Amino acid sequence: MSSSDGPVASTGAQLSRWFREGDAGLITAVMIGIYVLFTIFAILSPSQGLGGIVATLQAVTFWTALYAMLVLALNLHWGYTGLFNIGVAGFMAVGVYTFAALTAPTTGSPPGLGLPLWVGIVGGMLVAALAGALIALPALRLRADYLAIVTVAFSEIVRLSLLSTSLQEFTLFSSIGFIPDLTLGSGSGQGINMPINPTIPVKSLFYTNPTNPANGEITGLGETVFSLFATIGVRETVVVSIGYTLLLLAFVALFYWLLRRIGNSPFGRVLKAIREDELVANSLGKDTRMFKIKVFMVGCALMGLGGILWETQKGFTDPTSTTFRPIQTFYIFIALIIGGAGSNTGSVFGGALFASLLFQGPLFVSRIFSKFIELGDAPSTFAGAVAPALSLNFAPAAAYTLKNIPSLRFVLVGLVLVVLMQNRPTGLLGHRKEVAASIDLSERDGRTGDAAGKPAADGGQMPDGVRSESDSASGGERDD
Amino acid sequence: MVADWRVSIVERPKTALFGLFLVGLAVDLVLKLFGVQLTLGSANLLGGSLGLGRLITLVWDGIVIGLGIGLAGIGLSMTYSILSFANFAHGDYITSGAFAGWAVAWLVAGFGSGQLDGNVLYLATVGFGPTGPSPADLAINTIKTPIAVFGGLLVAVLATIALTLVIDRFIFKPMRNQGGITTLIASIGVALALRYLIVFVFGASNRGLTGGSPKLILAAVDGQFALANKRSTIILAQNGNAPTDVFYWLFPVVDIGSYSTELLSVTGAELTIVATSLALMYGLHVTLQRTKLGKAMRAMADNEDLARVTGIPTERVVRATWIIGGGLSGAAGYLIALERGTLAFNLGWLLLLLIFAAVILGGIGSIYGAMVGGILIGLTNSVSLVWIPSSFSTAAAFVIMILVLVIRPDGLFGGVTTA
Amino acid sequence: MTDNDAPVDSAGDGGAESAVSAETASPGGAGDAASERSEAVDASLVVEDLSKSFGGINAVNEVSFTVERGSLTGLIGPNGAGKSTTFNLITGVHEPDSGRVTFEGSDLTGRRTNEIAQDGLVRTFQIARELEEMTVLENLMLAPRAQSGEKLVNAVTPGLRGRVREEERDIRERVWETLELFEIDHLAEEHAGNLSGGQRKLLELARALMLDPTMMLLDEPFAGVNPTLEEKLLDRIHELREEGLTFLLVEHDMDLIMENCEHVVVMHQGQLLAQGPPAEIRTNERVIDAYLGEDI
C-alpha cells in the first residue's frame, strides 16, 4: 500500500498530476486572472499606492476563501447528495453562537464559559452537527422543495430566537442544588463580544498581547514582518489580515481535501446514487436514511466551522448581521450554482467568481467611475435624480446610479441566476463527472501488469481515482 | 364510531398528540379567562389570568393579518400546484403591488389636497422631497380619502397582474419543461432582482403611509355593549358620565350585570383590509364555482394526475393562474401596508415564509385551503402571545409549518377534492 | 420441467396451500401447516393475501402465491394487472394494506427496501433505473453489500482508507468479470445515460447480480432487448438457476414464459387468476378470456 519511493516523492507526483489534470490548474488560473483584474482596479481607484493594491488583493482573497469554504460545505449537501438545504445561515449562526457561549469571558456581558479557542471551535461544530441531526430526522424524507422550506424556516427560527430578549441572559441549573449555576446569554440585539477568536493565533505571532495589542508590544517576528511590508506601504492591520487570510486558505484546502475523500469513496458513491435515484440505492441494500443523516451532519458541522471563521474574526457579533439572514444562504447558493453543483472544483471556482466579480467587483467599478468622472453630489432619492433628467441633465441620475451600485449588483446577481437556470442549470462548469471511487476503476490488476507497479499512485494520501473530464468512453484512460 | 376514533389515535399517534396539545391549550385558555389557576405545590400548571378584551383583540389581530396572508397565499398555492414550482419571488410580487398602489394613492391624495406641484416624482416614489408633504399632510385614510385608497388598490392589482404576466412570459415560460427545483432557483433570482430594483427606485427606508386612522371601540359599560370612536368616551361612560356631543351608541336589549371593560378596538384600516379581503375571496369563490374557467381550474387542481396525463396545462389556465394569483398578491400587499401604516422594500420577503406556512397548512393547490391556512397562521401568530413572548410568535408559526410538513404534508385540504 | 401435480387454483383468493410441488415428499395440505412445511422445504418466497389499494382503487387484491426455490417462475397478466405493484409490495416500496410476505422463512412484510435487499431478495425495474450520471463501472461498484468504505469514518481516515482501497480493488475485479460475462465491458466507462435500452437492461441485471442475491425479481428484463441478446440472457439465467438462484419473472412475451418457466402465476385486475405449469395456464379458459384481444 505505501509507496516504496517514500512519501515526499509520492506527494510530489500526486501534486504534479493534480495540476496537470486541470482542477488545481483551473483554480490557479482563475485566481491569477482575478488578481490581475483587481490590481487594475486598485491602480485605477482613488490612489493608495502599492499598499492599496496589496490591501485590495488581500480583501478579495479573504472573501474568496470564506465563500469557497461555505460553498464546499453546501456542495456536500446539494451537489453530492441532492439535499436542498437553504438554511446555511442558520447553521453558521449556531456555530458562531455556540463558539461565543463557550469562549466569551465569564465577566463579559453577556457572559460565556471562558473556555479556550479550540474548545469553542470543536463545540461550535458539534452543536451545528447536532442541529443538523435535529432537522434531518424529520425532514430528510421530504421532497427537495419542502426540505428547502423547512431549512429556511429553521434558519429564521434560529435568528429570531437570537434576537429575542428572552434569551439575552439566562441562568441554567439554578434550581438544581448540586450543579453550579451557569449564566449564559445571547446578548440579543446588543450582540456578544468574542475577544478569543481565530485571529488570536495569528495575532500572537505579531503581538505579545494578542487580545489587546495596544497593551503589549510587537514581537520580534512582528517587527521584521511589519517593517518588511512597510517598505511597500502596507499597513500593520493589513499585514495581520494577510496572516488571517492565509489561515483561511489553509482551511479551504482542508475542506477541499476532506470533501474529495468523502466523494471519492464507496460512501461518496452511495451519495451520488441517492441524488440520482434514492429508490435504486435502497433497492441495492443501502440504508439511505443513515447516509443522508450522516452527510447532513458533516455538512452542517462544516457550515458551523465556516461561520465561526467568517464571523468571529470581527471580535463581535449580533443577530442582525447579514451573515445570519436567509439572503446570505442565497448568496452562497448562487456561488455554488455559478460554479457547478456536484464538483468541488466548481465550488471553489464559483466562490471565487461570486466573491470577486459579483460581490466586490461592482464596488470597485463604482469607485473608479466616481474618481474619473466628476458627477457632483448624488441625490438621495430616485425622484431627485430623475427630475433633472427631464430637462436633459443626466449627471445627477448617473451619480445616483453609481451611489446605488451596492443595490444594483444584486439585481445583476438575480439576473445572472435566472439566465443560468434557463440555459445552463448545472452551472458554468457543468456537472463535473468525478468518478466516485477511491481507486482508478478503469484499471485491472494483472491486465497490463502495470497495475501492481504503480507505487506513486497507490501510496500516499491522495486518491487516484480522480478524473477531470470523463465524458467519452474510449477504453481506459489511465492516470500515469 | 368510538372504535374508529380509537383506531385513528393508534394509527396516527403524532396527529393525536398534536390534537391533545391543542385541547390542552384550549382548556388553559378557558381557565385563564375565568381567572382560575391550577397549581401543583408551587408550580403553576394551568390557567392564570387573561382579560376577555385582550383575547378578543388577539383573535381580531390574528384574523386581520391572517386574511392578508391568506389573500397573498392563494396565488402562491395556485402557482405551486398548477405550475409545479414554489415561487420564491411571490413575496416580491406583493411588495411591488404595494409600492405601485401606494404611489398612485399618494398621487391622488396629493392632487386632492392640492400638494401635487413640484412633488409629483416624490409622491410617485412614495417618498418626500425637501419641501414635500408628509404622510400626515396627505392624511390618507379610508373614510376621508376613499378615492385615493381604492384607486391605489385598483392600481396595485392591475400593476401586479402586469408584472407577473411579463415575468412569466420572459422568465418562467421558457422554463416550463425544466424541473421544479430549477424553476425555484430561478424564482430566487427573480426575487433578488425585483427587490433591489425596488430599493433603487423607492429607496430602502421604511416609510409611513397614512396619517392616522379612525377607530371604532367596542366595550362593555355596566353590563351593556357600547360603541364609540374615542377611548375617552368609553372611560367617561364607565364612570357614569356618558358624553353627549361625540359618537356613542349603546346596544339595546342586552344587559349582563355590571361588567365593564374594553373589548375591542379596530381601526379603519383594519376594517378595510378585512372587508376587502372577504369581498375578494368571495368574488373568487363565485368565479370558481360559476364560471367555465373556474371549473377548469378546479378540475386541474383536483385531478392533477389526469391533467399531467393530458400534458402541460393550457396557456389559458396558466395565464388565469397568474392573473388571479398576481392580482390578489398585489391587493394583499397594498392592504397589509395600509393596515400597518408603513411600507418597506422587504415587506413581502419577510412575509414569504408565513405565506408558505399558510399554503402548506391549507394544502398546496387548494384555494380555500390557502384562505383557511392564512387565517390559522395569523391566529397562531397572535394568539400564541398568550403563552409565549412576542419575539417567538413568528417562530411559533414556523414550527406549526414544520410540524405539518412532517406529520401531514398534504395539509388540511390538500389531496381532497376542492379548488 | 413441467409439474403435473400442482393443483390449479382457479378461485381468486387461493390460500398458501396451492402450488406445492409434488416432487418433494410433502403432500399438499391446507392452511398454514402446509405453508410452514413448504417454507421449510422448497418455497423461497411465499405471498399470502397481499392487498393494497391506492385512493380507492384495489391495485392488488388478496393475492397469494408461492415461488419455489431454484425455480424460474413467471408472473404474467394483462396491463394493469398489478404485477409491478406486487413487486413493490414484496420489496417494501409500498406497505401492503394486509397480507404477508415470507422469504426464506422470515417475514418481510412492512420491512424496509434496503433491509430486504440485504437479505438477498433483489429486484430490477421495469423501466431500467440506471444511475445516468454514473458510469457503468460506478453503477456496478455501487451494488455489493457491506463495503467498509460505505462507513464515513473508514472512507476518510488516512489509515483506514487503505483497507477501503483494497476492498475496492477486489470489487473492481468482480465488476470487470461481470461486465465481460454480460459482454458490456467495452461500455465500462460510458455514462449509463448514454446506453441504449437493451444495454441498460443488461446493466440493470448485472448490477443486481453484484449483490449476490438468493432470489431475483425481474420486472420485464427483456423489453426492448434484441433476440440474440435475449437468448444470451436466458442462458445466463438458467446457468444462475443451476447455481441455486431463484427467479420470479414478469414478462409480456408469452412464448418466453411458456418455454422457460416451470411455474406461472397469472394476475388480472389486481387478483390472482390462476397459477400452475405453463401447459395448464395456456389452456385455462379464464386466462384466455382475460387476454382476449391480446396476443398470447
List of chain A residues whose C-beta atoms are within 8 Å of the C-beta of residue C159: none
Does residue A1 belong to the interface with chain C, where contact is any CB pair within 8 Å?
yes
Q: Does residue A467 form part of some domain?
A: no
Give me the residues paired with residue C274 across strands: C266
Indicate yes or no: CB of C117 within 8 angstroms of CB of A283.
yes
What chain C residue is nearest to A476 in terms of C-alpha separation?
C189
Residue A212: helix, strand or coil by DSSP?
coil
Report how far Cα C241 is from the mean position of its chain's Cα atoms.
Answer: 13
Burial B211-239 (b: 16+ CB within 10 A, else e): bebebebbbbbeebbbebbeeebbebbbe
Q: For residue B122, is pLDDT > 80?
A: no
Asked if B191 and B71 sit in the same domain, the reply is yes
Look at residues C160, C208, C202 and name the one whose alpha carbon lies nearest to residue C182: C202
Residue A10: its pLDDT value, please? 63
The pLDDT confidence band at residue A294, using thresholds 50, 70 and 90, is very high
pLDDT tens string C212-248? 899 999 988 888 778 888 888 888 889 888 888 999 9
Q: Does residue B282 form part of some domain?
A: yes
pLDDT tens string B292-331? 777 777 776 665 556 556 654 577 788 888 999 999 999 9
Indicate yes or no: CB of C155 within 8 angstroms of CB of A282.
no
Does residue A146 belong to the interface with chain B, where contact is any CB pair within 8 Å?
yes
Q: How far apart are CA A238 and CA A227, in angstroms?
A: 13
Cβ atoms B108, B120 nearer than 8 A: no
List of chain B residues whose C-beta atoms are within 8 Å of the C-beta of residue A161: 391-392, 395
Mean pLDDT, rounded, for A277-299: 93
Question: Locate cell 387454483: which residue?
Answer: C9
Cβ atoms C207, C144 nearer than 8 A: no
Cβ-proximal residues to A466 (8 Å cutoff; 6+ apart), any chain: A21, A23, A260, A264, A434, A435, A479
Amino acid at B237: A
Mean pLDDT, rounded, for B366-370: 86
pLDDT tens string C40-61? 457 888 888 888 888 778 888 8
Q: How far apart are CA A272 and CA C145, in angstroms?
A: 16
All three cell numbers of A253, joined, read 484546502
Q: Does residue B299 form part of some domain?
A: yes
Q: How far apart are CA C224 and CA C200, in angstroms?
A: 10
Q: For residue B361, what are the CA distances in angstroms to A156, B160, B403?
A: 18, 25, 9
Residue B366: its pLDDT value, please? 81
Asked if B79 and B206 sit in the same domain, the reply is yes
Higher-pLDDT residue of A85 and C270 is: A85
Q: How far apart are CA C92 and CA A288, in angstroms?
A: 14
All three cell numbers of A376, joined, read 457632483
pLDDT tens string C166-194? 898 999 999 999 888 888 888 888 888 88
Asked if B207 and B327 sit in the same domain, the reply is yes
**Which subunits sit against B, judged by 3+ Cβ pairs under 8 A?**
A
Look at residues C277, C278, C276 and name the one whose alpha carbon lies nearest to residue C10: C276
Does residue A153 belong to the interface with chain B, where contact is any CB pair within 8 Å?
yes
Tell me the average pLDDT of chain A.
Answer: 81
Residue A418: its pLDDT value, please? 92
All three cell numbers of B344, joined, read 418597506
Mean pLDDT, rounded, for C93-113: 89
Does residue A291 belong to the interface with chain B, where contact is any CB pair within 8 Å?
no
pLDDT tens string A176-201? 666 666 777 777 778 888 888 888 88
Does residue C164 belong to the interface with chain A, where contact is any CB pair within 8 Å?
yes
Q: Closest to A265 (Cβ–Cβ): which among C123, C149, C162?
A: C149
Report how far Cα A155 is from the mean position of its chain's Cα atoms.
Answer: 17
Asked if B37 and B92 sit in the same domain, the reply is no
ipTM: 0.84
Asked if B28 and B152 sit in the same domain, the reply is no
List of chain A residues whose C-beta atoms are within 8 Å of the C-beta of residue B124: 383
Residue of C91, C129, C150 to mutate, interface with A, max A Cβ within 10 Å:
C150
List of chain C residues whose C-beta atoms are within 8 Å of the C-beta of residue A273: 131, 134, 142
The length of chain C, given as a count of residues: 296
pLDDT tens string C191-212? 888 888 888 888 888 999 999 8
Mean pLDDT, rounded, for B180-202: 91
Residue of A10, A284, A295, A466 to mutate, interface with C, max C Cβ within 10 Å:
A284
Q: Percent of chain C at pLDDT above 70?
A: 84
pLDDT tens string A319-357? 888 889 888 998 998 899 888 777 888 888 889 989 988
What chain B residue is nearest to A411 in terms of C-alpha separation?
B193
Higher-pLDDT residue of C126 and A127 is: A127
Look at residues B342, B415, B387, B346 and name the one whose alpha carbon lies nearest to residue B32: B387
Q: Closest to B201 (Cβ–Cβ): which among A382, A387, A418?
A: A382
Asked if B31 and B177 sit in the same domain, the reply is no
Does residue C214 belong to the interface with chain A, where contact is any CB pair within 8 Å?
no
Give me the residues paired with residue C106 across strands: C103
Cβ-proximal residues to A40 (8 Å cutoff; 6+ apart), any chain: none
Residue A8: its pLDDT value, please? 62
CA distance A82 to chain C (A): 13
User: Any idea what the CATH number is for the domain that residue A43 is in?
Assistant: 1.10.3470
The per-residue DSSP string of A163-207 comes to H-GGGSSEEESTT-TTSPPEEE---GGG-EE-SSSTHHHHHHHHB
Residue A368: its pLDDT value, please? 81
Q: Does residue B57 form part of some domain?
A: yes
Q: Does residue A447 form part of some domain?
A: no
Asked if B9 and B105 sit in the same domain, the reply is no
All three cell numbers of C262, joined, read 416451470
Q: Report the phi/psi class of residue A479: left, alpha or beta, with left for phi > 0 and alpha for psi in -120 to 50.
A: beta
Question: Using omega within 30 degrees of 0 as the cis cutoff, is the peptide bond preceding A210 cis?
Answer: no
Angle A70-A72-A73 (CA atoms, 0-180°, nearest 5)? 65
List of chain B residues whose C-beta atoms are within 8 Å of the C-beta of residue A404: 199-200
Number of domains in chain A: 1
What chain C residue is nearest to A297 in terms of C-alpha separation?
C152
Mean pLDDT, rounded, for B235-242: 76
Asked if B37 and B155 sit in the same domain, the reply is no
The pLDDT confidence band at residue B188, using thresholds 50, 70 and 90, is very high
All three cell numbers of C53, joined, read 389499494
Q: Does residue B377 form part of some domain?
A: yes
Mean pLDDT, rounded, for B53-65: 89
Kindly report the number of other CB atoms within 10 A of residue A428's CB atom: 14
Tell me the average pLDDT of chain B.
Answer: 82
Q: Does residue B263 form part of some domain?
A: no
What chain A residue is nearest to B124 in terms of C-alpha separation?
A383
The two beta strands, B43-47 and A182-184, are unpaired
Number of H helices, E strands in chain A: 19, 4
Residue A21: its pLDDT value, please? 56
List of chain B residues whose C-beta atoms are within 8 Å of the C-beta of residue A84: 181
What chain A residue is nearest to B84 in terms of C-alpha separation?
A145
What chain A residue is nearest to C169 in terms of C-alpha separation?
A439
Q: Does residue B378 form part of some domain?
A: yes
Q: How far apart are CA B76 and CA B165, in angstroms?
A: 14
Q: Does residue A288 form part of some domain?
A: yes
All three cell numbers of B109, joined, read 391624495
Q: How far apart are CA C77 and CA C144, in angstroms?
A: 32
C30 DSSP 8-state letter: S
Q: How far apart are CA A240 and CA A235, in angstroms?
A: 9
Q: Does residue A380 form part of some domain?
A: no
User: Any idea what the CATH number is for the domain that residue B132 is in?
Assistant: 1.10.3470
Q: Does residue A381 form part of some domain?
A: no
All three cell numbers of A412, joined, read 445583476
Number of domains in chain B: 2
Residue C10: its pLDDT value, please? 40
Give the H or E element holding residue C50.
strand C43-54
Of A432-441, A444-453, B360-369, B404-413, give the range with the top mean pLDDT: B360-369
Q: For residue B183, is pLDDT > 80?
A: yes
Look at residues A267, A451, A435 and name the one whose alpha carbon lies nearest to residue C136: A435
Q: How many CA atoms lie within 13 A of A480 on its CB side?
A: 19
The pLDDT confidence band at residue A47, using thresholds 50, 70 and 90, is low
Of A322-331, A400-409, A439-448, give the range with the top mean pLDDT: A322-331
CA distance A185 to chain B (A): 16
What chain A residue is nearest to B181 in terms of C-alpha separation?
A145
Amino acid at A332: I
C residues 172..211 contacting A (CB < 8 A)? 172-173, 175-176, 186-191, 194, 207-208, 211
Does residue B188 belong to the interface with chain A, where contact is any CB pair within 8 Å?
yes
Cβ-proximal residues to B61 (8 Å cutoff; 6+ apart), any chain: B378, B382
Residue C90: its pLDDT value, please? 92
Residue C39: its pLDDT value, please? 46
Determine which of A106-110, A198-202, B266-270, B305-309 has the lowest per-residue pLDDT on average.
Answer: B305-309
The pLDDT confidence band at residue B4, using thresholds 50, 70 and 90, is low
Q: Does residue A449 form part of some domain?
A: no
The pLDDT confidence band at residue A173, using thresholds 50, 70 and 90, is low
CA distance A148 to chain B (A): 10
The pLDDT confidence band at residue A217, using thresholds 50, 70 and 90, is confident
Give the H or E element holding residue C102.
strand C98-103
Q: How far apart are CA B168 and CA B164, in angstroms?
A: 6
Range of the domain at B37: 2-47
Cβ-proximal residues to C280 (8 Å cutoff; 6+ apart), any chain: C8, C274
Does residue A385 belong to the interface with chain B, where contact is any CB pair within 8 Å?
no
Angle C164-C167-C168 (CA atoms, 0-180°, nearest 5)? 85
pLDDT tens string A118-155? 999 999 999 999 999 999 888 888 888 889 999 999 99
Cβ-proximal residues to B279 (8 Å cutoff; 6+ apart), any chain: none
Query: First and final CA of chain C: distance in angstroms?
Result: 21
Determine which of A289-303, A443-457, B362-376 has the lowest per-residue pLDDT on average.
Answer: A443-457
What chain B residue is nearest to A402 in terms of C-alpha separation?
B200
Angle C202-C203-C207 (CA atoms, 0-180°, nearest 5)? 120
**Which subunits sit against A, judged by 3+ Cβ pairs under 8 A?**
B, C
Give me the residues paired with residue C107 across strands: C102
Residue A16: its pLDDT value, please? 59
Burial A253-286 (b: 16+ CB within 10 A, else e): eebbebbbbbbbbbbbbbbbbbbbbbbbbbbbbb
Q: Percent of chain B at pLDDT above 90?
A: 25
Q: Does residue B322 form part of some domain?
A: yes
Range of the domain at A333: 2-372+404-423
Q: Closest to B185 (Cβ–Cβ): which among A153, A156, A417?
A: A417
Q: Does residue A477 form part of some domain?
A: no
Residue C5: its pLDDT value, please? 39
Asked if B36 and B120 sit in the same domain, the reply is no
Residue B60: helix, strand or coil by DSSP?
helix
Asked if B306 and B357 sit in the same domain, the reply is yes
Q: Does residue B244 form part of some domain?
A: no
